[in-house]
Structure 1
Amino acid sequence: MSENTNQWDEETSETFIDYGRYMVPERERQMAIMVALLPERTPLSVLELCCGEGLLADEILRARPEAIVHGYDGSARMLAAAATRTAWAGPRFIPQEFDLGSPDWRQPDFRPDAVVSSLAIHHLDGPGKAALYRDLFQLMAPGGQLLIADLIEAPGAAAQALAAAQWDEAVKARSLAIDGHTAVYDFFERDAWNILRHPDPMDMPSPIHDHLRWLADAGFTAIDVYWLKAGHAIYGGQKPAM
């Protein structure tokens, strides 16, 4: 995003609602992967961290009619959009405003069978990510699944430049496929949304091997990377069953 932006605000939320489908590589495929990896439980309790406009929550609720999704987000605008999108599901979507980096929400009155998150955890620094993974391990139900889709830092300048170029290519291709022109890609470039090329103080992606180590240190098992492209990855692990 533009160099004058150092925090996520409601204007940024509006921009992402408008242009997220262009900016997130293979967004539909990413959501399908996360839905496919949810545990087979009835009922299924899902905690989504930074649910945004409710796209993933909507996919989960449609694919899993036994699911209840607790959608947490720090943006009132995003929560309103998510509630509107999932209104058809009635009480199966429960919105809640929160601060991702605060510990205040990390002792909920329910035990989620799955925790999912998209494009959010890179806003925490390394120690913050490690602490989050420890807290998620504690609050999840035994046998639960953690699934995270997020930006990652490449291990080295050449790999980072390659990932940044791949992200540009993905946004340009998406812009052409949807609109037949590159106006959204031009905006993406002009406003410096490619944080792999234009670092921003609010964005602190970490290397994938750091994430996997922090997950293991927290106690997760069956840790894996399920998808990776253009500096974006889906990774996670399981809390052992008791």
Structure 2
Amino acid sequence: MIGTKNDIIKKFNENAMQYDNQRSKLIPCFDDFYSIPVSVIEIENDTPNILDIGAGTGLFSSFIKEKYPKAKITLIDISEKMLESAKNRFKDDPNIDYIIADYTDYKFEEKYDLVISSLSIHHLNDNDKQNLYHKIFSILKEDGIFINADQVLGHTSFIENLYKDDWKNKIEASGLTTEEINAAFDRTKLDKMATLAKQLHWLNESGFKDVDCLYKYFNFVILFGRKS
């Protein structure tokens, strides 16, 4: 069955070496997608404890590090190859920890000022998404922030097809090779996206305050919640 944990590990292990080079072409709104979350993050201390869920190559964390260079960041991902790329990215930084595990059932023992995720949670089924949001809320410190830069399902079939067509047209004109484009289409078989409305509801239900969609470009969104 497409979409099992083993499928996800296999696909992302295969793509680990090319992942970062392809991001700006596979995400039409790449600059906003990563700069806006960083711009809204405000943490009182300059050595925050941060968790990156589904961290992959550490791309999202690298932008956070530019703002908080002394931050302690824990990267957790199910793909060993992706985290190998992250280790290479942060090879001179002693304040980065790595966990190869499934974050949906991993027992976190620390509290975090900030939890971030990028293009990962949409691989979970709806029940796992809801459980994860509860877990994230529980491991955040008071006034901690959760930011999820991810993709959502169109709320109608017409809107969903509009999203898909726009993305298809843009990546086919991006300069990616036919092989890279076909591999990207193949990875979409792993997606289990939920609508924006459902995800905002689940965040509120988990206890988050000030829940919002800070940014939206077709199905690319930035979700925000605060523990207060």
Q: Say if 1:5 and 1:128 are closer, same or farther in 2 by CA, change over 3 A.
A: closer
Contact 1:10 1:77 in 2 (8 A): no
How many Å apart are 1:17 and its aligned residue?
4.2
Partner of 2:140: 140
Tell me which of 191, 194, 212 is aligned to 1:224.
Answer: 212
Between the aligned partners of 2:207 and 2:64, the Cα distance in structure 1 is 26
TM-score, structure 2 as length reference: 0.88
Tell me which of 189, 192, 214 is aligned to 2:185.
Answer: 192
Partner of 2:177: 183
Between the aligned partners of 1:134 and 1:173, the Cα distance in structure 2 is 40
Tell me which of 76, 98, 101 is aligned to 1:98.
Answer: 101
Give the residue type in structure 2 aligned to 1:188.
I
Question: What stretches of structure 1 of length at least 5 have no aligned partner?
Answer: 176-181
Is 2:33 the partner of 1:39? Answer: no
Contact 2:12 2:82 in 1 (8 A): no
Partner of 1:210: 198
TM-score, structure 1 as length reference: 0.83
Q: Say if 1:46 and 1:100 are closer, same or farther in 2 by CA, change over 3 A.
A: same
Partner of 1:79: 83
Give the residue type in structure 2 aligned to 1:232.
F
Contact 1:111 1:140 in 2 (8 A): yes
Q: Say if 1:191 and 1:237 are closer, same or farther in 2 by CA, change over 3 A.
A: closer
Q: Say if 1:85 and 1:139 are closer, same or farther in 2 by CA, change over 3 A.
A: same
Question: What stretches of structure 2 of length at least 5 have no aligned partner?
Answer: none
Partner of 2:67: 63
Partner of 2:124: 124
Between the aligned partners of 1:28 and 1:126, the Cα distance in structure 2 is 28
| Paired residues, number | 222
Q: Say if 1:221 and 1:191 are closer, same or farther in 2 by CA, change over 3 A.
A: closer
How many Å apart are 1:138 and its aligned residue?
0.9
How many Å apart are 1:123 and its aligned residue?
1.5
Contact 2:3 2:123 in 1 (8 A): no
Task: List structure 1 segments (4+ residues) > 6 angstroms apart after TM superposition.
Answer: none
Is 2:222 the partner of 1:237? Answer: no
Give the residue type in structure 2 aligned to 1:192.
F
Give the residue type in structure 2 aligned to 1:221.
K
How many Å apart are 1:183 and its aligned residue?
2.2
Q: Say if 1:80 and 1:190 are closer, same or farther in 2 by CA, change over 3 A.
A: closer
Between the aligned partners of 1:154 and 1:36, the Cα distance in structure 2 is 27
Between the aligned partners of 1:128 and 1:220, the Cα distance in structure 2 is 17
Between the aligned partners of 1:170 and 1:213, the Cα distance in structure 2 is 30
Partner of 2:24: 21
Between the aligned partners of 1:145 and 1:4, the Cα distance in structure 2 is 33
Q: Deviations over 1:67-88 (max 9, x none)?
A: 1111111111111110110123
Query: Aligned Cα RMSD in Å?
Result: 2.2
